[in-house]
Structure 1
Amino acid sequence: MDTWLKESRKRADSAHHVVPIRSGVLWSEALMRQSMPPSTADPDTSRPNRIPPDVPRNMHDSYCELLLPFASSPELLEQYINASGGIRTGMLMEHLDSLAGGIAYKHMLGPGVEVLSKDQGFYMVTASVDRLDMLAPLYPVRDMRLSGQVIHTGRSSMEVAVRMEALEKDGREQTIMLGRFFMVCRDAKTHKAAPVNPLKLSTPEDKQLFALGETHKDRRRLRTSVSLDRLPPTSLEAEELHSLFLHVHQKVFGGYLMRLAYELGFANAELFTGCHVLFVSLDCISFAKPVPIGSILRLSSHILHTTSSEQFPGLIHVGVQANVVDVATGKEQTTNDFRFTWCTDHNIPLTRKVVPKTYKGPCGERLGFSEELLQRTLTSKTY
């Protein structure tokens, strides 16, 4: 996938690499504008002339990138340094989620879009983060480039592939992380599924990436069928699934939750191992419910599994669960489940083991860690 993405990037117009962002506004002002007629709410947010959703888009037209000049900007680097002197990987994950959203909007609105108005007629939601793999060490002395593009589209969904590269002073580039985000499109008024522009496959690399997306789509369907014990959802369950996307405005940004979960899981892994750990992969993030701004959020972390391999003498699989707490009743609702894998630094073997307490995993599958997941984690580069 890395090679195909590099070839696709060469065809992207460098003038359109910018990530489209929303124009800034205070939340109090946003609430006030909601009660105004559309013509007076904001004169600068008229809906752009969007290409009809049945017109195909080139895959490279959605390409976006974000440069983090750590090597040349000590002030910026200071914001990302953790207690161990490394980069706060959770913050980079938050950026990747934001990048994936910008890429999704660029696919819908066209490569020239730079600022997102407040009335697009649709909105994009991160349905899941299918996979994030760390492929090389993350040293804080190099500039970093975060980039990505759409590689697959369905009727109302798309898959966004993201990359994180280290830029050496001699011009060389090294891929540090690869990941995939699954985005869905919803109508801004009805909150029902809205169509997305299909992809135009013009090169062999485009066809390979699209075929990869088809494989990932089949895998998601299989995972869903397993989590439902191979039974179709009832009408009540289907209604519940639909309601997940009814309210997205004034909700906590998913990338922020991912950063909190990463940092909690990282602390748990270090406490469990008694040594410094390195990030290996992220797998199976489900966004079960939106998190309203102002909620009380409880995050809990558990060591789910430990193992070893020739490449990694100590692997620690950590699950983090995010629950929204109802202050009045004390009841909690799970909004997110996260899966992370770390390895012990300096090839230190594990001295502690965990014993499974339950049969069902936090992502709904029958076993906490399937053979496929373990194999994907150990190889890291399987997509």
Structure 2
Amino acid sequence: MHDSYTELVLPFGSSAELLEEYMNAHGGIRTGKLMEHLDSLAGSISYKHVLGPGIETLGRIKERGFYIVTASVDRLDMLTTLDPSRDLRLSGQVIYTGKSSMEVAVKMESIGGDKAEETVMIGRFSMVCRDAHTHKARPVNTLSISSPAEHTLYSLGEAIKRRRSSLAARSLDRVPPSSVEASYLHSHFLKYGKDALPRDADWERVWMGDTKAEKCMLMFPQERNVHGKVFGGYLMRMAYELGFANGSMFVQGPMSFLSLDSISFAAPVPIGSILRLSSHILHTKEATDNHPTRVHVGVTANVVDVKTGSELTTNEFRFTWRKSTADKSWTDRVVVPETYQESMSWLEGKRALDVGDQIRGMRDQKTE
């Protein structure tokens, strides 16, 4: 397992020029650009696992006879605020292998300065190997486990794969919502979906369809990967930035990133194509004593056929942000679905927020 370990250090603390390239409008670091690097890192780790640790260059895909793509991103969780005055180390390794798939665990850590090393973000990528000629599944090397710590990581990767299969089986694209979920949706609509709002309401209703934000882009060859398609990390960054802009407009103020809840890669995006990114606010949770308002945002990537106007969905992204606790002058805005399809998206958003709250709750307990 340790043979695939790879790391990259971004010296923000010592390089003002590098920091300038990554700085956002508020003096922090652009999270979307870091996600782009994590996707690239996960790919490098996967190639290192298949080729062996002694190989330094990839070479031509056709000559290698295989290629590796990102199948999905299960989660990326922000654990603490990024400190632009410190260096950032990105690292990871393969922790589990199937027949043609690999689970890659990655993390970001703040290092250097007079403080102890601190983990900033952790995440998991699912990578798959394909034959370069037939494009069918190609077997990958199995993992050799050499320590109790590696056995724990392997068990984690195995559990992640089982959980992914379970979530796919429970997807609202396949099965109806549970009776509890249906009741929750009904109660939400009775409270917030009526035409006339109560005069004393301390919240503002926003129909989900009115939260749409989108952008269309040409896909240029500068953003291609080793397979000649648009690099998945670039799509992650574009989706993150659109989702952040949409969420900021919805909460009418600053937000902090909590998690990338999932990404699915359904089809590659060709160079030269027109890509339409569409974003909606899918679910919101009101602030409590322990947690600020959380906002779950979905972004869909579609390739547009300019001749017919038809669109092919290539990616689905799900992100969660929280409203900045520094701003106290905000009235809760509640997103309400109008159609059945929007209602299913609303329930999927609730599931994602519930999982995130559970994870952060467990993390808080461990910290205490």
Question: Which TM-score tier does this pair reach, normalised by the shorter chain?
Answer: 0.7 to 0.9
Alignment map for 1:196-215 (pairs within 5 Å): 196-215=140-159
Residues 100 and 128, structure 2, Cα contact 8 Å, conserved in 1: yes
SS in 1 for 2:243: helix
Shift of 1:225: 1.7
Matched letter for residue 271 of structure 2: I
Give how far 1:311 is off.
Answer: 3.7
Counterpart-to-counterpart distance in 2, 1:248 and 1:117: 9
1-structure distance, mates of 2:303, 2:132:
25
Per the TM alignment, residue 230 of structure 1 is displaced from its structure 2 partner at its CA by 6.2
Matches within 5 A, 1:155-234: 155-170=99-114, 172-227=116-171, 229=174
1:274 aligns with 2:252: yes
Could you tell me which of 280, 287, 290 is aligned with 1:302?
A: 280
Alignment of 1:146-157 (within 5 A): 146-157=90-101
Assess if the C-alpha contact under 8 Å between 1:67 and 1:144 holds in 2. yes
Kindly provide the CA deviation profile for residues 199-221 of structure 1, in whole angstroms up to 9, marking residues without a partner as x. 11111111111111111111111
Q: Partner residue of 1:135?
A: 79
Corresponding residue of 1:288: 266
For the pair 1:356 / 2:337, whether they are aligned, the reply is: yes
Change beyond 3 A, Cα 1:377–1:84:
same
TM-score (norm 1): 0.76
- Same amino acid, percent of matched pairs: 61
Q: Distance in 1 between matches of 2:47 and 2:26?
A: 36
1:359–1:280 Cα change, 3 Å: farther
2:282·2:346 contact (CA, 8 Å) conserved in 1? no
Asked if structure 1 preserves the Cα contact closer than 8 Å seen for 2:261 and 2:352, the reply is no
Q: Is the 8 A contact 2:282 2:345 kept in 1?
A: no
Equivalent runs, 1:1-383 vs 2, <5 Å: 59-118=1-60, 119-170=63-114, 172-227=116-171, 229=174, 249-307=227-285, 308-348=287-327, 351=331, 352-360=333-341, 367-371=347-351, 373-377=353-357, 379-380=359-360
Question: Displacement of 1:172 after TM fit?
Answer: 1.9
Post-superposition shift, 1:381? 7.5
After TM superposition, give the deviation of residue 344 of structure 1 in Å.
Answer: 1.3
Mapped contact 2:292–2:324 kept (Cα < 8 A): no
Change beyond 3 A, Cα 1:377–1:340: farther
Deviation at 1:360, TM superposition (A): 4.7
Deviations along 1:251-289, whole A, 9 cap, x unmatched? 100000000000001111111111111100001211111
Q: Match for 1:115: what amino acid?
A: T
For 2:289 and 2:2, the matched residues in 1 are separated by: 38
Report the secondary structure of 2:67's partner residue.
strand
3-state SS in 1 of match to 2:141? coil
Please state how far the C-alpha of 1:331 moved relative to its aligned partner. 1.3
Cα RMSD (Å) of the superposition? 2.3
Query: Whole-Å Cα distance in 1 between the matches of residues 325 and 175 of structure 2?
Result: 43
Residues 281 and 297 in structure 2, CA contact (< 8 A), matched pair in contact too: yes
Residue by residue, what CA displacement relative to the aligned partner does 1:331-362 show, whole Å, maximum 9, x if unpaired?
Answer: 11111110000011235465211113344579
Give the counterpart letter for 1:326 in structure 2.
D
Structure-2 separation of matches of 1:110 and 1:278: 39
SS of the residue 1:127 aligns to: strand
- State the 1:192 CA deviation: 0.8
Quote the Cα distance in structure 1 between the aligned partners of 2:342 and 2:170. 12
Contact preservation (8 Å) 1:300, 1:321: yes
* CA displacement at 1:376 relative to structure 2: 2.5
Consecutive unaligned residues in structure 1, runs of 5 or more:
1-58, 232-246
Q: Following the alignment from structure 2 to structure 1, what is the Cα–Cα distance between the partners of residues 356 and 58?
A: 37
The residue type paired with residue 265 of structure 1 is G
Q: 1:140 to 1:378 in 2, by over 3 A?
A: farther
Q: Whole-Å Cα distance in 1 between the matches of residues 282 and 345 of structure 2?
A: 14
Report if aligned partners of 1:69, 1:144 keep a CA contact under 8 Å in 2.
yes
Amino acid at match of 2:174: D
What is the Cα deviation at residue 250 of structure 1? 1.7
Tell me which residue corresponds to 2:184.
Answer: none
| 1:382 shift after superposition | 6.2
Distance 2:55 2:17 in 1: 29
Is this contact kept in 2: 1:376–1:382, CA < 8 A?
no
Cα distance change on mapping 1:185 and 1:338 into 2, 3 Å:
same
Inter-partner Cα distance in structure 1 for 2:250 and 2:346: 25
Separation (CA, whole Å) in 2 of partners of 1:358 and 1:156? 39
Cα distance, 1:141 vs. partner?
1.1
- In 2 relative to 1, CA 229–149 (structure 1 residues): closer, same or farther, beyond 3 Å? same
**TM-score in terms of structure 2 length:** 0.79
CA contact (8 A) 1:143 1:168 kept: yes
Q: Secondary structure at the match of 1:140?
A: coil
Inter-partner Cα distance in structure 2 for 1:285 and 1:230: 20
